[in-house]
Amino acid sequence: MLSIIGNAIIIAGVIIIFIGIIGIHKYKNFYTRILLAAKIDTVGAITILIGIVIKNGFSFFSLKTLLLLIIIVILEPLTSHIIARTAYLSGYKIEEQNLSDEKDT
């Protein structure tokens, strides 16, 4: 039974990642894309790793997987923030055409 629940959560994580990839291709703005990429990485990785832990049960492997999960939750948003902040500080501007395109959709 735990294997079925674990597989379902893993499949949900893959679906979240797939929908997020479609969302990344929809938007043209760099800052919107970096925000979506951060959310996809974090949420998709969390669901997949939780599914793996549930599927394998509690063991030393699950403990290592949970440690990896904690590292991912801390570092992935931090790295995307650093990338966006570096782009902003280096003078990367949002094009006016992209702003009007996103308002229309």
72, 42 Cβ separation under 8 angstroms: yes
Q: How many domains does the structure of the chain reveal?
A: 1
Query: Which one, of 82, 53, 57, 86, lies nearest residue 70 by Cα?
Result: 53
Q: Which is more confidently placed, 97 or 18?
A: 18
**Residue 56 exposed, middle or buried by CB count within 10 Å (0-12, 13-18, 19+):** middle
Which pLDDT band holds residue 1 (cuts at 50, 70, 90)? confident
Q: For residue 4, what pLDDT band results from cuts at 50, 70 and 90?
A: very high
Confidence (pLDDT) at 35? 87
Q: Which domain holds residue 23?
A: 2-90
Residue 98 lies in a domain: no
pLDDT tens digit string along 8-66? 999 999 999 999 999 888 888 888 888 888 889 899 999 999 999 999 888 899 999 99
> At a CB cut-off of 8 Å and minimum separation 6, what does 76 contact?
38, 41, 42, 45
pTM of the model: 0.77
